[in-house]
Amino acid sequence: MAEPLVGVLGGVGPMATAYFLQRVVALTRAERDQDHLDMVVLDHATIPDRTAFVLGRSTEDPGPVLARDARRLEAFGAEFLVMPCNTAHHFTQQVVDAVDVPFLSIVEATVDAVRARIGDRTTVGLLATEGTVAAKVYQDAFAAHGIDTIVPDDADQAVVSAVIYEQVKAGRPVNLPALQGVVGRLADRGAAAVVLGCTELSVAAVDHGLLADPLYVDSLDQLARATIVRAGHEVRAG
């Protein structure tokens, strides 16, 4: 039986897409090249800024561009699609409506992982772009399961935004103590887990070994795991 071809709507952003591919390879149970997933990646870095549009700072709509890219991947032969970007999931319906192949949501994969981890506790923290927070992508998904989502205050959101845009996206060192301070304050407010709901934060998490702490649930990591399983492979143990 032929391997299913995974279509990756990438470039949003480019570093996060590269780390997603790295996580898929690292997490796949494999002993040779042929044991890994078949993927086609459209690394479309010039897609209009998602957060700027969601917040009304730009009139350039990324939705039609993402929909067109989804059709391109489907035409290439992709049997299901993934998109390693949280803010772009505000435009999920446009992507889903554009194609006939299934779409695997980073948000749904992450919510499922959080629910499995926190048990009966009902409050989670969220670190994400201002666009993701404003669009309530995660808040609505968690609310559907009776889970409350808390987000940083304005000062702490500024710290998170700086890590995303001025550090990771710009290729500069991450202010890890500042980021960990934000996480600690969410935990103090009752968060049973803190979702890294931006794939640039996922880059920082991998680089600095944050995922060893069970408080963190990384969206990029969870999408990689869900992609492996959906493609009929096994996630590496450990």
Token pair 């067109």 is at which residue? 68
Beta strands in 78-197 (DSSP E): 80-82, 103-104, 123-127, 148-150, 194-196
Q: Which residues are catalytic?
A: 85, 198
Distance of CA 193 to CAs 63, 113, 201, 229, 233, Å? Answer: 30, 10, 15, 23, 27
**Long-range contacts: 19-22, Cβ < 8 Å, 24+?**
19/84, 19/199, 19/202, 19/203, 19/206, 19/220, 20/84, 20/199, 20/220, 20/223, 20/224, 22/206
Distance of CA 233 to CAs 63, 79, 115, 193, Å? Answer: 31, 15, 23, 27
